[in-house]
Structure 1
Amino acid sequence: MSDSASLAAVRLVAIPRLAAAGRWRVEAMRSLCEPMLLWFTAGQGRITVAGATRGYSARTAIFIPAGTMHGFEVGPQSRGTAVFFTRGGPFLLPLQPQHLPVRDPAAQQELSRMLGTIAREIETRPLAWERALMHQAGLLGIWLERQVAQRGAEPQDASRRLVARYTMLLEREFRRGLGVGHFAGELGVTPTHLSRCCRQTCGRPASALLHDRVLFEARRMLAETDLPVHRIAESLGFTSPAYFTRAFGHLTGQSPSAFRRAS
């Protein structure tokens, strides 16, 4: 990819391709440095955003702000497009995650047309294509704004608010080797209450979200870097490489070295 393409306002990836290098890349809890819009055109599954799990089906648009912890299922029938916005671009996007079943055929067609235009600009790169992408990204932002306004604000109960705060805190501090008790204390609740709320919103205890986030980062570093295993263990807050190897093997069924070779 050229420098100009990498700096374009928006880029598109087919949703099945997101999981091409392993389903863990989309299913495990992680965050991205870019805002992302997922537009599902076929299939169904579950998606967890900021600690809240919901179902998705065809014609569902899901917006995930940068730095928001999330993971989702990509089944064999899942189709659609992931839209990545350049962070800090001159366009307005929602500040909060949005889960939008798009029922209006006109709105569906409008989004499909915009994505098709963006794809053609990226593929053919005509005169001023990068500037055109900037405007197209702005139009996507307007489409999102209108969909959110039509749907109205979704009520957030106390459990969802607490779990969203937990995922934000976890995203900032998961490398420190801290336990759920620390995060619960920071949030002013007991570990038991925090886990109960996590089970209510996503069907998993607080510890599972923490382990999943650390495990994703371990896999990513093993697959994408040449760092020695002991350096990866240290960077993720493990007290020793042996402890990291045991924990990784318990959760994945592979040693870190075997996973790296397979990747």
Structure 2
Amino acid sequence: MSVIPPSKIRLVAMSRLAAAGRWRVEAMRTLSEPCLLWFTKGQGRITVAGVTRGYTAHNAIFIPAGVMHGFEVGQQVFGTAVFFGKDTDITLPQEPLHLRIREAHAQQEINLTLDMIQREMDSLSPAHERAAGHHLGLLGVWLERQSAKVSLETPRPDAARRLVARYTALMELNFRRGISVGELACELGITATHLTRCCQESCGRSAIELLQDRRIFEARQLLSETNMPVGKIGESLGFTSAAYFTRAFQHRTGVSPSAFRRGQ
């Protein structure tokens, strides 16, 4: 079996994620790689595929690539985020998981596995890349076993949550086109009113709030990480004019796009 080079594996402390700015963790976004969040202390709320739940210590949350999510991470929250890399060949779940790990030995097992991955990534010993990759594979096995244990305890998502999950997936494919909630609802075969009611039920936010949050997160990413002109960024995200983009961005963030870029 081939293994993923540690240069593509990233283990990031929750405190570092929080230090990068709340918008980078709380706003709705998707990643092009799978991610595992392992919380060891603290609590908060996390939204995955349009469903909001609370998390506490010893919760493991797996988010596949392309699944929309955002979560609170305060100063009292500790743990590790594992980013598997875009081209990982590790066997991982296909659906999001929220695992509440109650057994002490299972908590110890994941802590030890993460320690070993980090140790090998930091090592200059021969074959440390292969060793890190194999430990990452064991993390995938741990996820599979823990999800199998709780599968009988986890209730099947209700109709509203299934609908919102479909909405967020469809939104991810279309949010750059300036598509409206009404158009997305039509593609789902429902009314915008029903969609918003389901979103409120699943995550306490309206359908338009989720859509705008996703678009503005992408705008902030482009403003902070590229030199693309502000007007081009708005155009690339489906805003019909620079003025409309500026108003929407300022409403969501409290600053104009140009001011946000200067502050990065």
Name the structure 2 match of 1:21. Answer: 20
- Cα deviation per residue 1:107-154 (whole Å; 9 max; x = unaligned)? 000000000101111112321111112211110011000000000153
AA of the residue aligned to 2:202: T
Name the structure 1 match of 2:90. Answer: 91
- Following superposition, the deviation at residue 171 of structure 1 comes to 0.7
**Cα RMSD for the two superposed structures:** 1.0
Determine the C-alpha separation between the residues in 1 that align with 2:7 and 2:107. Answer: 28
AA of the residue aligned to 2:157: Q
Name the structure 2 match of 1:6. Answer: 7
Determine the C-alpha separation between the residues in 2 that align with 1:156 and 1:135. Answer: 33
Q: Percent identity?
A: 63
Is the CA contact (8 Å cut-off) linking 2:90 and 2:136 kept in structure 1? Answer: yes
Name the structure 1 match of 2:178. Answer: 177
Q: Does 1:139 align with 2:162?
A: no
Name the structure 1 match of 2:256. Answer: 255
Determine the C-alpha separation between the residues in 1 that align with 2:237 and 2:185. Answer: 20
The gaps in structure 2 that reach 5 residues or longer are none
Name the structure 1 match of 2:59. Answer: 60
Q: Does 1:222 align with 2:223?
A: yes
- Cα deviation per residue 1:29-57 (whole Å; 9 max; x = unaligned)? 00001100000001100000000000001
Give runs of aligned pairs for residues 1-263 of structure 1, distance below 5 A: 5-7=6-8, 10-152=9-151, 154=154, 155-263=156-264
- Following superposition, the deviation at residue 249 of structure 1 comes to 1.1
- Following superposition, the deviation at residue 90 of structure 1 comes to 2.3
Determine the C-alpha separation between the residues in 2 that align with 1:167 and 1:83. Answer: 23
Determine the C-alpha separation between the residues in 2 that align with 1:31 and 1:204. Answer: 18
User: In terms of mean alpha carbon deviation, does 182-191 or 127-136 score higher?
Assistant: 127-136
AA of the residue aligned to 1:181: G
AA of the residue aligned to 1:47: I
Determine the C-alpha separation between the residues in 2 that align with 1:135 and 1:75. Answer: 32
**Alignment TM-score, normalising by the size of structure 2:** 0.95
**Matched residue of 1:103: which SS?**
coil
AA of the residue aligned to 1:122: M
**Alignment TM-score, normalising by the size of structure 1:** 0.96
- Following superposition, the deviation at residue 15 of structure 1 comes to 1.1
- Cα deviation per residue 1:231-253 (whole Å; 9 max; x = unaligned)? 10110001111110111111111
**Matched residue of 1:93: which SS?**
coil
Is the CA contact (8 Å cut-off) linking 2:120 and 2:128 kept in structure 1? Answer: yes
Determine the C-alpha separation between the residues in 1 that align with 2:235 and 2:124. Answer: 44
AA of the residue aligned to 1:59: H
Determine the C-alpha separation between the residues in 1 that align with 2:190 and 2:75. Answer: 40
The total of aligned residue pairs comes to: 258
- Following superposition, the deviation at residue 184 of structure 1 comes to 0.2
Determine the C-alpha separation between the residues in 2 that align with 1:67 and 1:126. Answer: 35
- Cα deviation per residue 1:68-99 (whole Å; 9 max; x = unaligned)? 00000001100000011123322210000000
AA of the residue aligned to 2:145: R
Determine the C-alpha separation between the residues in 2 that align with 1:204 and 1:5. Answer: 38
- Following superposition, the deviation at residue 160 of structure 1 comes to 0.7
**Matched residue of 1:19: which SS?**
helix
